[in-house]
Amino acid sequence: MRLAGTATRIAGGVFGQRVLRGRSGIDWQPVGELLAAVLGDMKGPVLKLGQMASQWHDVLPEPISRALGALQNRVPALPYDRLQAHLRKVYQGELTDYFEFIDEQPFAAASLGQVHRARGLNGEALVLKIQYPGIAEICAADLRQVRRLLPLGRLFRAPAAQLEGIYRELEQTIHAELDYAAEMQRLKRFGDFFADWDAVLLPRPIEHLCRPGVLVLTEVPGLPFAEVAQAPLEVRQRLAHTLPAWLAAQAFDLGELHADPHPGNFAYTPAGELVVYDFGCVQAVDPAVLAAYVCTFKALQSGNAEQLERGFQALGTRQPQSAPPWALYRNLTQLLGPLLQPGVLWDFADQPVHQEIQRLIPDALASLSSLQPAPGTLLVNRTLEGHYWNLTRLGLRVPVADLLGQQIEQHR
């Protein structure tokens, strides 16, 4: 009922503004505030959709993306007494038979579950990632209701097929994040692959303590990545080189991408090691999609608008039978091309590209009939955009092209 009422209020408000304001434009701020207020009180796919949508700056008006971005840190936790009764059922007995201690206060809460520190019977520091009781059934019901919100996307000129693709992407993401057994296997694959990387630390699953809906991991302590700007220069420099190299190794060598770049899923150590948490959202990298991203990267690097058109076509972002947005292509290559040259340091402190990109919004809006993000690229784009902000937090000059260049040149 709340979703239906919210959809009606938003649609009516936008229609009224179009009638009254005409060409002066629509004020999206009240829409963003309403969505954030409603979704912030919910869990499951509805909240997850809002969190995912906060990354879709190329689809949603900026005030809506900004308001939805607050949902990443505004998730109410479930009281421990309810969670404790649930855990006793899952473990079919007293929790003291398995754990010496479980902290009643969660240190993280998300759309599908929350995380508690614990200690094993052998004294090992652990964390318990616990799904909310009944969340699988809630998700199944909520996914049906999410479709009620999707028609709102037409207010932003998103095609119906695009909205359906977004729904399918959300549905697959929710199902993957609910499958803790699969997440444990993903974490083991990542752990094995990056075992020799002394700059990257991952938690290790404790398999004999894991249960359906409960993932037990070793605790890897770290400092909050959201506060990394306070770290010493040498620590930030190490992280600035590790993060792009880690992303490239995932895409080009492992063939899987950790696709939840929210800073809450990352930490760092005083020695400058990157700590990575939460492998519920991992995207398999299609070789054809990877090749299209490489083509797009090289087009931006060379300033070749025709090659950029081919890259966008390969990515599936170009709408069939529509004119290429050549003006937007030229502006993108002029903005990003100089930053992607070999030997050039991309200044993430004094060269805020996101502010420059805001100047392209009129061109981007004019190109909505021609360019729409392909559903299969949503998580990849979310990852790239999220780590742009993570690099911005580091506030350093980073040789992006040099760190990616070797991997890209080997990709034929």
pLDDT digits (tens, 9 = 90+) for 321-368: 788 888 888 888 998 999 999 999 999 887 667 667 766 666 665 666
Who wins on pLDDT, 39 or 388? 388
**Alpha-carbon span 296 to 332, nearest angstrom:** 11
Distance CA 360, CA 331 (A): 8
Beta strands in 58-175 (DSSP E): 99-102, 108-109, 113-120, 125-131
Lowest model confidence (mean pLDDT) among 135-144, 290-299, 335-344: 135-144
Name all contacts of 290-294 with Cβ < 8 Å and 24+ positions apart: 290/251, 290/252, 290/411, 291/411, 293/380, 294/408, 294/411
DSSP 336-362: HGGGGSTTPPEETTT--HHHHHHTTHH
pTM of the model: 0.79
Q: Where does the pLDDT of residue 248 fall: very low under 50, low under 70, confident under 90, or very high at 90 and above?
A: very high
Taking a C-beta distance cutoff of 8 angstroms, is the pair 223, 267 a contact?
Answer: yes
| Percent of the chain whose pLDDT exceeds 90 | 48
Residue 21 has pLDDT above 60, yes or no: no
CA distance 293 to 388: 16
pLDDT at residue 298 greater than cutoff 70: yes
Measured distance CA(311)–CA(298) in Å, rounded: 9
Average pLDDT, the chain: 82
Both structure tokens of 93:
């007995």
- Other beta carbons within 10 angstroms of residue 348's beta carbon come to 22
When pLDDT is averaged across residues 63-67 and rounded to a whole number, the result is 63
List pLDDT tens digits, range 158-215: 566 666 766 777 787 788 888 999 999 999 999 999 999 999 999 999 999 999 999 9
Q: Which residue has the higher pLDDT, 382 or 122?
A: 122
- What's the confidence (pLDDT) of residue 318? 83
Look at residue 127 and give its three-state secondary structure. Answer: strand
Per-residue pLDDT at 112 exceeds 50 = yes
Structure tokens at 332: 């993108």
Angle value at C-alpha 385, between 384 and 388, nearest 5 degrees = 90
Do residues 173 and 48 make contact, with C-beta atoms less than 8 angstroms apart?
A: yes
